[in-house]
Amino acid sequence: MFLEVKNIKKAFHKEQVISLLNFTLEAHKTLSILGKSGCGKTTMLKIIAGLESPDSGDILLNSLRINEQAPEKRGIVYLYQEDLLFPHLTVFENIAFGLRIKKVDKNIIAEKVNTMIQRLELEGQADKMPHQLSGGQRQRVSFGRAIITNPSLLLLDEPFGSLDAGTRTRMQLLFKKLAEEFSITSLFVTHDLKEAILMGDEIGYMEKGNLKVYKDRDSFINDPMTGVQNEISFWDSLNTKKENEPMNEEVKIKNETE
């Protein structure tokens, strides 16, 4: 297993935010994690990234215990909704940033960044500054910046939360494509049911600091806790209403003519 999270617990003062967290993730897979606000999703990601320390338990990456490793040494990138680009750098330089820090040869940087810009469908935007971009374009630049350094694990915290529905759908498809192309291993936190189903090779549901990972999509869909059944009943009830509408109309007309 590539990522192993074992018996993690975390409390803030008296609030037990992570009760007992246990799960594993294979390399090149995406685990989407659904859960209500405040159930501990961000805290879990921060612990894995090394931005918060757990009270107990272990995190293993490639069989190595990384609990004491500094965040920048973990090869993990944590990307959140309002990810800030460097405002004084162009799109090209924002994406190139991680490679420049690693002192990669400038010709290789140019080649890698230009390829990434193409993959992100950002052709013609390379010289723009972040404030000249749309929300979806900014989010794509953030992805590019995160992926270009080949992180071992990508932690995505509601990455499309601030986008409109259409842009969000396009970003989901683009991420699926990039995840495959760059063999990304990721945890994808979302509030959105459809997004969780669409993005995850595996799906987990977090409640009160516990994560349940489902063995397949059907078990997730059939568990009443995940809310999928409620959603289906809602759409079914609208359909039934629609089917009944002409009938009601007929009854009304008939009654009026009687």
Ligand X SMILES: Nc1ncnc2c1ncn2[C@@H]1O[C@H](COP(=O)(O)OP(=O)(O)OP(=O)(O)O)[C@@H](O)[C@H]1O
Residues in the site for ligand X, rule: CB under 6 A? Answer: 12, 17, 35, 37-43
Which one, 128 or 161, has the nearer CB to ligand X? 161
Q: Which residue has the tokens 């990669």?
A: 104
Beta carbon of residue 52, minimum distance to ligand X (angstroms, whole number): 7
Beta carbon of residue 44, minimum distance to ligand X (angstroms, whole number): 7
For residue 142, is it left (φ>0), alpha (ψ between -120 and 50) or beta?
A: alpha
Q: φ and ψ at 32, to 5 degrees?
A: -90, 145
Beta carbon of residue 174, minimum distance to ligand X (angstroms, whole number): 23
CB 149 within 8 A of CB 116: no
Which one, 177 or 191, has the nearer CB to ligand X? 191
Which one, 125 or 139, has the nearer CB to ligand X? 139
Which one, 114 or 210, has the nearer CB to ligand X? 210
Nearest to 155 by CA among 180, 190, 205: 190
Q: Which residue has the tokens 């289906």?
A: 232
Residues in the chain, overall count: 258
Beta carbon of residue 82, minimum distance to ligand X (angstroms, whole number): 12
